[in-house]
């Protein structure tokens, strides 16, 4: 549903892809069953019942192969700007299970991946797009991938007609009580330094979209999830920066996975493809 609404909001093409397991596809073929056609008909019924998917005229694709490989290949062939995937395997006892489709896409995708938690509901169910979604909460630090994510969050907020909140988390220092005073001073100094470094980056975005910079102290995943809390007037979406595959540190780290498993809101892992192109050129 989110993918359909986003496509409608951005006037973009929507592709709905289902990957059949190769062994199941081969077994069906051996039994004379046209599994591809049956699955396509099921997808048609699904999209027709998922408002406003029918307004987006989605292109349906049924392929044989592992889910991650099929999605990545399709995204490459169609030059996709974004892959939208459900958050299965990222909740309950499976929060940290590696090998899931979601985890594989996050690690390997050369395009941005939007992870939508199971049960996500549009804030304005009768609207055909993402009206009411916001603010866009983006985790920031001085790194290149984070700065790119900040710019992407700003642009997304403009498209959705909402505001952005840039959140930088300064980790607290776990020390013995007798060193608490010194630790507090060190943390305050880091907060001041972070504000001095990040404020110019936020100001450089311009004033077309309201952007609030928050410097908070605590554990990164928990504070980001708290910043993206849902209430009567908020339906936030989190943006995190991710380096392009092949670059140093390209795969999402533990913090990113903990944010994905903690926050009950859509999380966009933004890949700065321009940085990837520059790296390839060199």
Output the 3-class SS for 61-117: EEEECCHHHHHHHHHHHCCCCEEEEECCCCCHHHCCCCCCHHHHHHHHCCCEEEEEC
Task: Reply yes or no on whether the pLDDT at 18 is more than 90.
Answer: no
Confidence label for 258 from pLDDT (cuts 50, 70 and 90): confident
Q: 127-254+267-281 belongs to which CATH class?
A: alpha beta
DSSP 237-261: EEEEEEPPTTSTT-S--HHHHHHHH
| Average pLDDT along the chain | 84
Q: Supply the pLDDT for residue 93.
A: 39
Chain center to CA of 75: 16
Domain residue ranges in the chain:
127-254+267-281
* pLDDT tens digits along 93-138: 344 443 488 888 988 999 999 999 888 889 998 888 899 999 999 9
Mean pLDDT to the nearest integer, 209-223? 94
- Mutual angle of helices 144-160 and 273-281, in 10-degree steps: 140
Q: Regarding predicted confidence, which is higher, 19 or 273?
A: 19
Q: Is the pLDDT of residue 91 over 60?
A: no
Asked if residue 278 has pLDDT above 80, the reply is: no
**Average pLDDT of the residues in 147-157:** 96
Query: Going by DSSP bridges, is the β-strand pair 112-116/267-271 parallel, antiparallel, or unpaired?
Result: antiparallel
pLDDT at 256: 78
pLDDT of 92 over the 50 cut = no
Tell me what the mean pLDDT of segment 202-206 comes to: 95
β-partners of residue 241 are: 270
pLDDT of residue 255: 75
pLDDT at 116: 92
Distances (CA, A) of 17 to 83, 252, 275: 10, 24, 28
Q: What is the mean pLDDT of residues 10-15?
A: 90
CA–CA dist 197, 184 (Å, integer): 20
Question: For residue 51, is pLDDT > 60?
Answer: no
What pLDDT score does 84 carry?
A: 95
Q: What is the pLDDT of residue 65?
A: 84
Mean pLDDT, range 153-182, rounded to an integer: 95
- Mean pLDDT, rounded, for 87-93: 50
- Does the structure show a pLDDT above 80 at 79? yes
267-271 vs 136-139, strand pairing mode: unpaired
Q: How confident is the model at residue 30 (pLDDT cuts 50, 70, 90)?
A: low
pLDDT score, position 239: 96
- The answer to which of 99-113, 141-155, 191-205, 243-257 has the lowest mean pLDDT is 243-257
Say whether pLDDT at 54 is over 80: no
At residue 275 the predicted structure's pLDDT band, cuts being 50, 70 and 90, is low
Q: What is the pLDDT of residues 129-149, one digit of tens each?
A: 899 999 999 999 888 888 999
């Amino acid at each position: 549903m989110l993918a359909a609404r986003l496509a409608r909001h951005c006037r973009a093409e929507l592709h709905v892809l289902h990957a059949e397991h190769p062994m199941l596809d081969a077994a069906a073929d051996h039994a004379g069953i046209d599994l591809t056609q049956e699955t396509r008909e099921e997808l048609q019924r699904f999209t027709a019942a998922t408002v406003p998917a029918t307004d987006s005229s989605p292109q349906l694709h049924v392929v044989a192969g592992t889910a991650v490989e099929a999605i990545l290949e399709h995204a490459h062939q169609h030059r996709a700007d974004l892959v939208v995937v459900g958050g299965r395997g990222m909740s309950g006892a499976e929060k940290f299970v590696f090998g899931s489709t979601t985890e594989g896409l996050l690690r390997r995708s050369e395009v941005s991946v939007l992870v939508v938690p199971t049960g996500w509901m549009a804030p304005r169910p009768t609207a055909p797009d993402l009206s009411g979604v916001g603010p866009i909460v983006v985790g920031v630090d001085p790194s290149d991938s984070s700065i790119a994510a900040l710019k992407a969050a700003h642009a997304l907020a403009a498209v959705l007609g909402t505001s952005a909140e840039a959140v930088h988390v300064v980790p607290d220092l776990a020390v013995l009580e007798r060193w608490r005073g010194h630790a507090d001073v060190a943390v305050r100094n880091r907060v001041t330094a972070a504000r001095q470094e990040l404020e110019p980056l936020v100001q450089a975005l311009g004033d077309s979209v309201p952007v609030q910079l928050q410097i908070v102290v605590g554990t990164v995943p928990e504070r980001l999830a708290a910043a993206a809390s849902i209430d009567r007037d908020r339906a936030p979406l989190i943006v995190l920066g991710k380096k392009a595959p092949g670059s140093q540190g390209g795969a999402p780290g533990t913090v990113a996975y903990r944010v994905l498993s903690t926050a009950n809101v859509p999380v966009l892992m933004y890949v700065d493809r321009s940085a990837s192109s520059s790296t390839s050129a060199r």
